[in-house]
Structure 1
Amino acid sequence: MNKPGEDSILSLPERHNRILMLLQQRGSLSVTQLSELFRVSEVTIRKDLSYLEQQKKLYRTHGSAILISPYISDRHVSEKEKKNVPEKRAIGAAGAALISRDDSIIIASGTTVAFLAREIQPVGHLTVITSSVPVTQILSQHADTDVIQLGGITRRSSMSVVGPFAEQMLRHFNCSKLFVGVDGIDLEFGLTTTNMLEASLNGAMIDAAQKVVVLADSSKFGRRGFSKICDLEAVDLIITDSGVQPLYLERLRERGIEVTVVDSL
């Protein structure tokens, strides 16, 4: 560990290694912060970050550095459902435990909400409104569950519906909870998805629910999809896995957002 004022005498590889180590700990750092920390000019730090970005070890954005690119491209549900399966199963189980007797809920689209649907064991009579075709297929098997499938344009990549017809249907309902999956959770930008029609529908779902529950594995934090769903202030609870960085937990809880962390099943 270097003493104060000695960071400027680090060799170039040492400084690069320490930058990456600090990003692992803090999530993101600005050029100014790094300049002050290492007692070198901002020009030097920008050169360091450019080199490390070329090596695909970090991503530069707005005068700062993070470890991975925050931007997400749309992927087919068949590809997504194979990733982080134990985490999604545990998150789905925790979400299912929130459903009350004779509840009325909204379930959005995505692979994590499909895991939620598989974990649901209705108590009393359950009413579910959903845009997800797989969720409808799963929950329609329960005799004591009514599933209202929203209508509209089918997105092949997500196997869900979007569009104004689905949004109009939601204006006639009010449910206790919305369970929504996202492509990204960013502390400044909020919740995002890769499709603007899906983002718009998710916004209508938020308006039709009393409580918003986000189901997101830890890989979604610090990421951004193309379209914004809402600010973080619209969220009541986030359920995620133990891989989430402590920095995100601290910042979210400071803003009054409840976060439940589950261990993989």
Structure 2
Amino acid sequence: MKRHKDILERLAKEKHLEVLELCEILDVSAVTIRKDLKFLEQKGLLYRTHGGASLENPYINERTVLDKEKISVEEKNGIAQLAASKIVENDTIMIASGTTVQALSKFIKPKNKLTVITSSLNVVLNLINDKNIEILQLGGYIRHSSASVIGNYAEYILKNVSCSKLFLGVDGIDLDYGLSTTNLEEAELNKKMLSAAQKVIILADSSKFGKKSFARICNLSQVNEIITDKGISSSVRKKLEEKDIKVTIVN
């Protein structure tokens, strides 16, 4: 059927499509589109998501930081480099765990003092030789898969600190479910980080949109800005901006 072909061709370009968007493009009802998506999912050609469809499984399984480092490397480095430009003189920032925020630490070259609060061991290793950077390493149990700390000790420290910006990496960004990650304890730590930051900046390549994982971090109302690559669909970008979230795209 031509309509099925059109859906799959558009999905290959956009990565994620909304039902209402397809209704407008193809000039058919939502009932018809949902039937089309159900049929195509049964054929193994796409995954249905809440209110739309994706070419990739929207549910994320945990992978190690070494595995994640090999995925979307160019996009992550572009996002990280742009994020580094957001850091100002004598700033105090927080960097969470994850490969994209870990990449950020490679591009941080302050001319004056910078204070960095982080849960990531790899971020510390990237910054430790720069004498202009004062590092507060959060303590606690080590998650081997992410090379980062979790637990009550780290959460306790965050009750007593504040920062201008939190650079947060996530496993999934869903318009309804919000931000999510694969580990419940990491999600709890991320929530405490949100409370300690004046501004929340999400670093996420476009593959993260339309996906959700086991542990929910927060809804999108707590996000100020998302830095991503040009693979983000125009419809998702528009909906994020309607929620007063600044979407910055790396060229």
Superposed counterparts of 1:42-191, under 5 Å: 46=35, 48-61=36-49, 65-191=53-179
Tell me if the contact between 1:184 and 1:221 (Cα under 8 Å) persists in the aligned partners.
yes
Give the CA RMSD over aligned residues.
2.3
Amino acid in structure 2 at the alignment position of 1:27: L
Residue among 182, 186, 192 paired with 1:198:
186
Superposed CA deviations along residues 28-55 of structure 1, whole A, max 9, x for unmatched, are 217x959x9457975x963x44442233
Structure 2 unaligned spans of 5+: none
Percent of aligned positions that are identical: 47
Q: How many aligned positions are there?
A: 247
Identify the residue that residue 27 of structure 1 maps to in structure 2. Answer: 17
3-state SS, counterpart of residue 219 of structure 1? helix
Amino acid in structure 1 at the alignment position of 2:144: R
Structure 1 residues 166, 53: closer, same or farther in 2, change over 3 A? Answer: same
Return the index of the structure with the highest Cα Rg.
1
TM-score, L = length of structure 1 = 0.86
Structure 1 unaligned spans of 5+: 1-12
Cα distance between partner residues in 1 of 2:157 and 2:97: 16
Check if 1:257 corresponds to 2:245: yes
The CA deviation at 1:255 is 1.2
Structure 1 residues 138, 69: closer, same or farther in 2, change over 3 A? Answer: same
Cα distance between partner residues in 1 of 2:30 and 2:215: 38
Cα distance between partner residues in 1 of 2:170 and 2:88: 23
TM-score, L = length of structure 2 = 0.90
Residue among 196, 204, 208 paired with 1:208:
196
Superposed CA deviations along residues 210-247 of structure 1, whole A, max 9, x for unmatched, are 10010001111111111111111101111001111111
The CA deviation at 1:165 is 1.0
3-state SS, counterpart of residue 156 of structure 2? helix
Tell me if the contact between 2:19 and 2:30 (Cα under 8 Å) persists in the aligned partners.
no
Tell me if the contact between 1:57 and 1:68 (Cα under 8 Å) persists in the aligned partners.
no
Tell me if the contact between 1:212 and 1:234 (Cα under 8 Å) persists in the aligned partners.
yes
Identify the residue that residue 16 of structure 1 maps to in structure 2. Answer: 4
Tell me if the contact between 2:80 and 2:107 (Cα under 8 Å) persists in the aligned partners.
yes
Structure 1 residues 40, 77: closer, same or farther in 2, change over 3 A? Answer: closer
